[in-house]
Amino acid sequence: MPVCTNATPKAVTFEVLNNIGYEMIVSNAYHLFLRPGSEFIKKNFTNLHRFCGWEKGILTDSGGFQIWSLGSLVKIESDGVIIKSHIDGKLNKLSPELSIQIQEDLGSDIMMIFDDCPKA
């Protein structure tokens, strides 16, 4: 499954992915929430498929990976996390409910749950 973080493949086109035979891509709901915005995609394109031009399956990651990968920009709270945007420095609160709402707005075929993997 090719990783298309911002709903676009790197180094190849969707046509190439289609010709190879891929049936699904994975995109990141958190990154799409930041830019261009899940509400923007829903309002102007209906869903992520129309936004990016991929007609096959799309799995969206919840944004949970960013809790780990953006460690210094994240503050974990009992009802979600506050993440400082790497784009504009704005603080965004991401909760499990908002993560699902973002993925619903994107029209994801498969949604990942928002989770946190605590240190062992």
Would you kindly state where each structural domain of the chain is located, as residue ranges?
14-64+95-111
Rounded to whole angstroms, how far apart are CA atoms 29 and 120? Answer: 27
**Peptide linkage before 2 cis (omega within 30 of 0):** no
Instruction: Please list the pLDDT of the chain residue by residue as tens digits (120 residues).
Output: 999 999 999 999 999 999 999 999 999 999 999 999 999 999 999 999 999 999 999 999 998 888 778 788 888 898 999 999 989 999 999 999 999 999 999 999 999 998 776 666
